[in-house]
Structure 1
Amino acid sequence: MSPLPAHHKNKTKSSFDNPWPPVKTVSESIRGLVRLPFGLPFVRAEPFQILGALKPTKTIDANFSVYHSEGGKSGICATWLGHAGYLVQLPSISDSRSTRILFDPIFAEFAYPSNWVNGLRRRLPAPCAIDQLPDVDYVVISHNHYDHCDTETLIALWTRCSPDRPVRFLVPLAVKDTLTAVGIPDSQILELDWWNNVTYHCPSPTKGSNIVFTCTPCQHTSGRGVMDQKGSLWASWVVQQTMSDGAAVCAVYFAGDTGYQTATGPCPAFQEIGDKFGPFDLAMIPIWRGATLSFLGQMGYRLADDTHLATTHASPEDAVLLAKDVRARHSLAMHFATWAGSDDEALEPLVRLMRARKGDWSDEGGFGAIDIGQSVVIPVITRER
């Protein structure tokens, strides 16, 4: 019998863990939490100065007209929908229709199923209603945390899709039950383990193409309650578009929610992803923690450092290194500002990202941020593989 993968903790695929040593042990994290509010390392927040042309993130009305333009059809279109939600359209091949993918969409007002948790109300509104989105072909989920797996949004996406363009859902192991519980058909959901992939063929009267989804590692956790912690897998995702003859068209990387550091240095999975699948025309990478600690910002405080979150949440500086590891040509920031306890907390990730990067997202190898609702076009290049 073959041994279990390092991230599997049992044979029933119902318990998982990061296979790399964490920056801090669980006991250290617990000790930090039980000392709240006096023992957690936080300090009085100092206002962050806006650098150069940097402007605070805002929500603008989404306009998807660029998706139908010549430039949009020949490149990759991307729209930030807030938090980790991105809509991506792949290049149109010959006379085939463009393929559209939604990553971790959340249109909810709260990042959890109830509003009793202080600080979790959405700070920046969604840029459109769900019904205003273009038709989508695939919805990709990174893990089952409420701020990444918003079931109200997912069932609304399924309900509105047309019979001739039914949406498919791709999720990591053990996340399927979360979707079927709200009425999404089992037949439309595919679960994948790390390094597994699936290929979908896009027919065309002249030249067909393939869309290959690969579930790839990241450093995080999962759970929607006290009893199911790490009971389902978390993942990043690679999407490759190829011609029917195998020629590469483009490659996209979605990091999901992830940390970058381990007790022994950078997590090696990201360089492995870059070596196997890079370069990526577009990478979407988180630069901040989730909404859980936003109450600190509301109180006028911030964490003194990122050490105790480094295993599960990338800092802006880590995100820049991660982008380099996966060999991203253009990187867009996510997982910040949508939920934040103060204007300073929403601005801090942007300031730190600008200090750490070498170029904006439109530059080759650059990393930057766009407004919620903003649509951009990333040109693709012909590559040899």
Structure 2
Amino acid sequence: MGNWWFGRSARAVDYAGEDEDLPCDKLLVCRRFAEPTGIPKSKKGIDGRAFVHDPEDFPRARVTGFKDFIRWRRTVAPTPTPSPDDLRALQSVTVSTDAVKNPPTGSLQCTWLGHSTVLLQLAGNTLVFDPIFSDRCSPVQWIGPKRLQRPPLQVRDLPVTVDYVVISHNHYDHLDSASVLDLARRFRSTFLVPLGLASWFRGAGVRNVIELDWTEQVELRSPSGGANLVFHCLPAQHFSSRGALDRNATLWASWLVVGGESENGRSPHKFYFGGDSGYCGEVFKRIGEEHGPISLSAIAIGAYGHPSERWFMEPVHISPEEAVRCHRDLRSERSVAIHWGTFQLTAEPILEPPKLLAEAAARQGLKEGEFSVLRHGETRAF
């Protein structure tokens, strides 16, 4: 499902020649499997078709159906319309071209481009996570959730080559076909995706794609001369679908990227990308025990919903209070907030997430600046 939306004219991505050596062609050589840990691998249901949450690992996960959807829409409070002051507070800042072109040596540099789209610069590599540069997160651009402000920049304006694009799952606010094709054509980036999603990319003509299961990892050599990076595919509590008939046919995931050296010259940097998830504390703790301390994490704080819809959103979206718990579970040294302030997906006030995050951080004893909220377009080195 999903390839139909591209149309024939959108399929071609020029890879120069059939004999060209792409990272995905070395998959069997560079792919490595992690040693057994307490971190769960993915699981499919009895029919073997759809991915499911194992209740032993995800006791708070819940399967919702059409009746739940109808109940949600009938009982949810009206979505508040952002005021002019709200929109001004959300307005993007101009991306610093100089900062992006010249990231500080030995640091992680993060630019938030709205929603869950993060531009990360690590050890001479540039990565983009869950890119969406379109006006709407929808199968079509004439209906569906619309941006509350313009994106800080477009793919054509990126001042550096994007080496890797990492996708958490296939929902339209995380996997945007126009953005994927723009990146593939302009930079011929390597795409890393959860299990089952590579066929969607290949159907769009994007051949340079690597898919991984939870707990699998792959080490890749930088195409731009930076240090090698190791990508770990890790669990999340969510679901997938791009249509009515493909629910959970592909996997959803969080990711850990490891590479470079920290300031002490010994420990590599570790960046965790949470993508989209409900709170699954035991799984987050196992990730922290296995991979922590983590240098920087990108954790969702929005779309948890108004109290009238929290029953429906809680299994798949983290609240600000839970985001702080997640930060601590992961043993993250610093975190940045994502998945808020760009699209009005649920009925909580649009500026509420960062306020609740600050309150939760103070309650749970975080240091000032330990969990940051960036402006749209803001770049910060860690």
TM-score range, shorter chain: 0.7 to 0.9
TM-score between both structures, scaled by the size of structure 1: 0.77
Q: Cα deviations across residues 341-360 of structure 1 (Å, max 9, x unaligned)?
A: 7997210111111111139x
Cα distance change of structure 1 residues 37 and 174 upon mapping to structure 2, 3 Å threshold: closer
Q: What residue number does 2:112 align with?
A: 80
Are the equivalent residues in 2 in contact too, given 1:330–1:363 (CA < 8 A)? no
State which of 272, 290, 302 in structure 2 corresponds to 1:276.
290
Q: What residue number does 1:132 align with?
A: 157
Q: Cα deviations across residues 320-365 of structure 1 (Å, max 9, x unaligned)?
A: 1001111111111011110027997210111111111139xx9577
Q: What residue number does 1:191 align with?
A: 211
Are the equivalent residues in 1 in contact too, given 2:125–2:227 (CA < 8 A)? no
Alpha-carbon shift at residue 13 of structure 1 (Å): 7.0
Matching of residue 200 in structure 1 with residue 220 in structure 2: yes
Are the equivalent residues in 1 in contact too, given 2:273–2:298 (CA < 8 A)? yes
State which of 170, 174, 179 in structure 2 corresponds to 1:144.
170
Matching of residue 59 in structure 1 with residue 92 in structure 2: yes
Amino acid at match of 1:347: L
Single out whichever of 5-14 and 349-358 deviates more from structure 2.
5-14
Alpha-carbon shift at residue 310 of structure 1 (Å): 1.5
Cα distance change of structure 1 residues 371 and 203 upon mapping to structure 2, 3 Å threshold: closer
Q: Distance in 1 between matches of 2:274 and 2:346?
A: 25
Alpha-carbon shift at residue 249 of structure 1 (Å): 2.2
Q: Cα deviations across residues 27-72 of structure 1 (Å, max 9, x unaligned)?
A: 6x6544333654x253786999x9xxxx933212212312344x62
Q: Distance in 2 between matches of 1:344 and 1:11?
A: 37
State which of 156, 179, 184 in structure 2 corresponds to 1:153.
179
Amino acid at match of 1:130: V
Gaps of 5+ in 2: 1-39
The residue correspondences of 1:3-22 to structure 2 (distance < 5 A) are 7-9=42-44, 14-20=49-55, 21=58
Cα distance change of structure 1 residues 223 and 304 upon mapping to structure 2, 3 Å threshold: same
Q: What residue number does 1:366 align with?
A: 370
Are the equivalent residues in 2 in contact too, given 1:358–1:366 (CA < 8 A)? no
Number of matched residues? 333
Matching of residue 349 in structure 1 with residue 353 in structure 2: yes
SS in 2 for 1:107: coil
Alpha-carbon shift at residue 143 of structure 1 (Å): 0.5
Alpha-carbon shift at residue 75 of structure 1 (Å): 1.0
State which of 190, 198, 204 in structure 2 corresponds to 1:168.
190
Are the equivalent residues in 2 in contact too, given 1:329–1:364 (CA < 8 A)? no
Decide which structure has greater helix share. 2
Q: Distance in 1 between matches of 2:94 and 2:347?
A: 21
Q: What residue number does 1:114 align with?
A: 140
What RMSD in Å do the two structures reach over aligned CA positions?
3.3
SS in 1 for 2:312: helix
Matching of residue 34 in structure 1 with residue 74 in structure 2: no
% identical equivalent positions = 33
Cα distance change of structure 1 residues 180 and 190 upon mapping to structure 2, 3 Å threshold: same
Q: Distance in 1 between matches of 2:309 and 2:285?
A: 25
Q: What residue number does 1:94 align with?
A: none
The residue correspondences of 1:223-302 to structure 2 (distance < 5 A) are 223-242=241-260, 247-260=266-279, 266-289=280-303, 302=306
